[in-house]
Structure 1
Amino acid sequence: MIRSLIRPFIIAFSMYSKIPVPQLEWKDQDMKYVLCFFPWVGAVIGFVTILWGMLCHSLPIGRVLYATVGTAIPLLITGGFHVDGFMDSMDAFHSYQSRERKLEILKDPHIGAFSVIQLVLYYLVYVGAYSEINSLRAIGVVSIGFFLSRTLCGIGVVTFKNAKKEGLLYLFSSKAHEKIVKISLYVQLLLCIVVLIILSLWAGIGVIAGALSVFGYYRYHCYKEFGGITGDTSGYFVTLCEGIIVVIVAVCSLAGLV
């Protein structure tokens, strides 16, 4: 049983992170449970983020370096996997073309002006908000957010309609053992909620409300624009959700609520 779970765990990390792991053949039996372990890539990001926060609290590291490295940690661990989907989605959303043309834009490997503009704007807000997060408790809330965003994303993969019958998202959703994956992810979501509230009541509630609001908006927007979700829009959701979480924690920190 343990061996049957190790392979999906490794595949999840080989797919969604740059962490060196053995490269395994993607067998149907393994693909059933890969999404169960997707949030644990976020757990690694959160762990490294906490370590960085502890280091900054013990050494005289300035806010600019603190915020820029904190912002870079998710990019370094994932290789920008989700940001790529964010950029493709931004180009498609802002193209104002037909649904079919928007889906084609998602597949286009080239980047457009809208994606660059939106990415620069995103990271300006992200770095600015991150620089206002000072306490280790607040950093802990942000760290749990990396797990939360991926848990919700995984739930979306096995719950929402696919916009097309091809691509990585369709592969993972069609091969997943829907019942077990849903149970696993909902249990992980519940644990996230409990830990967030224990860490900080008001910041925890704010993060949960913000993440769920983004999740609802993500479904509405993707159904309206594409007729469903894709692998790129999943990356868009993870990126947007993490940005909202950082902003919420920053506001709570400035208000003395965490």
Structure 2
Amino acid sequence: MKTLWSGLCVAVSLYSKLPAPKTEWDDRTMRYALGFLPLIGAAIGALSWGWLVLARRLTLVPALYGAVAVLLPILVSGGIHLDGFLDTCDARCSYADREKRLKILEDPHVGAFAVVHLVGLLVLCFGLFCQLYQAPRAVLPLALGYPLARTIGGLAIVTIPCAKESGLARTFADASDRRGVAAVLLMQAALCLLLILWWDWRFGMVSAILGGGLLWWHRRLCLRDFGGVTGDLAGYVITLGETLMLALCVLYGLIVR
């Protein structure tokens, strides 16, 4: 039980800005830490749901709702996954060989391609949130999209070979009980999808197909272009997963209204 509690504290302290007791990182405390990653997404989802309800009750303008909705996941997560998204965009757009791409992932500097993709992502999410505010039909899937995206990122780390002999992904992958963590992540993904299926079976089916397709595509991308997964690549797929679910929620609202 103490190991699970320590793993939760490690996950919260690393993957979010939420308060957590200070815990020493070692093989014991990190053994199941990745299994708690979706709980950070659940917290973000709950806050996003609450913000949408509050904004509509206060009859705020869509732009104000959209701006805060874009910032909420970044504020809670500390931008750790967005950082991975930026580094991956720089690496992929370099069209360099595998070794050079891995060096770009390690480079702390932000390149032009990362800036362009960041601006595009934020503008797109802002527009999607503003549209969602006009037709908030898919509030439950919106909230569940955050933990669901993190199950994909966690599964990537424990099921795809690591690209480097060092780094955050390697540290967690080596310390993790891979089978146990993968099983826990799959159960959490199944729970999210079951709730969405209960809400609307068609939306749930599409979400399951998109989630499975995203994990398959990401595995192929990691192995082909980088020789394996890294922490930045996991952050990249988490960001893509959140954005895809947001877009799906907006599309649903447009269809059923």
In 2, Cα distance between equivalents of 1:207 and 1:130: 18
2:250 aligned residue: 250
Matches within 5 A, 1:1-258: 1=1, 3-134=2-133, 137-256=137-256
Bigger Cα displacement from structure 2, 201-210 vs 170-179: 201-210
- After superposition, the Cα gap between the structure-2 partners of 1:122 and 1:18, relative to the gap in structure 1 and judged at 3 Å, is same
Superposition RMSD in Å: 1.3
Contact 2:11 2:36 in 1 (8 A): yes
Which segments of 5 or more consecutive residues in structure 1 lack a partner in the other structure? Answer: none
- How far has the Cα of 1:99 moved from its partner? 0.6
- Alignment: residue pair count: 256
- How far has the Cα of 1:205 moved from its partner? 2.6
In 2, Cα distance between equivalents of 1:203 and 1:252: 8
Bigger Cα displacement from structure 2, 106-115 vs 3-12: 3-12
Contact 1:43 1:144 in 2 (8 A): yes
- TM-score, with length taken from structure 2: 0.95
- How far has the Cα of 1:121 moved from its partner? 1.0
- Measured against aligned partners, the alpha-carbon deviations of 1:219-252 in whole angstroms (never above 9, x if no partner) come to 1112111011101011111011111111111111
Contact 2:207 2:245 in 1 (8 A): yes
In 1, Cα distance between equivalents of 2:208 and 2:44: 19
- Measured against aligned partners, the alpha-carbon deviations of 1:81-126 in whole angstroms (never above 9, x if no partner) come to 0000000000000111111011000000001110111111112111
Which segments of 5 or more consecutive residues in structure 2 lack a partner in the other structure? Answer: none
The one-letter code of the counterpart of 1:156 is A
In 2, Cα distance between equivalents of 1:60 and 1:159: 45
- Measured against aligned partners, the alpha-carbon deviations of 1:135-194 in whole angstroms (never above 9, x if no partner) come to 555122111000001011111111011111110100001110122112211111111110
Contact 1:211 1:245 in 2 (8 A): no
In 1, Cα distance between equivalents of 2:207 and 2:125: 15
In 2, Cα distance between equivalents of 1:9 and 1:59: 35
Contact 1:17 1:79 in 2 (8 A): yes
In 1, Cα distance between equivalents of 2:64 and 2:201: 29
The one-letter code of the counterpart of 2:131 is E
Identity %: 35
The one-letter code of the counterpart of 1:253 is G
In 2, Cα distance between equivalents of 1:238 and 1:199: 23
Q: Provide runs of 4+ in structure 1 moved above 6 Å.
A: none
DSSP-derived class of the 1:162 partner = coil
Contact 1:141 1:200 in 2 (8 A): no
In 2, Cα distance between equivalents of 1:251 and 1:222: 29
DSSP-derived class of the 1:29 partner = coil
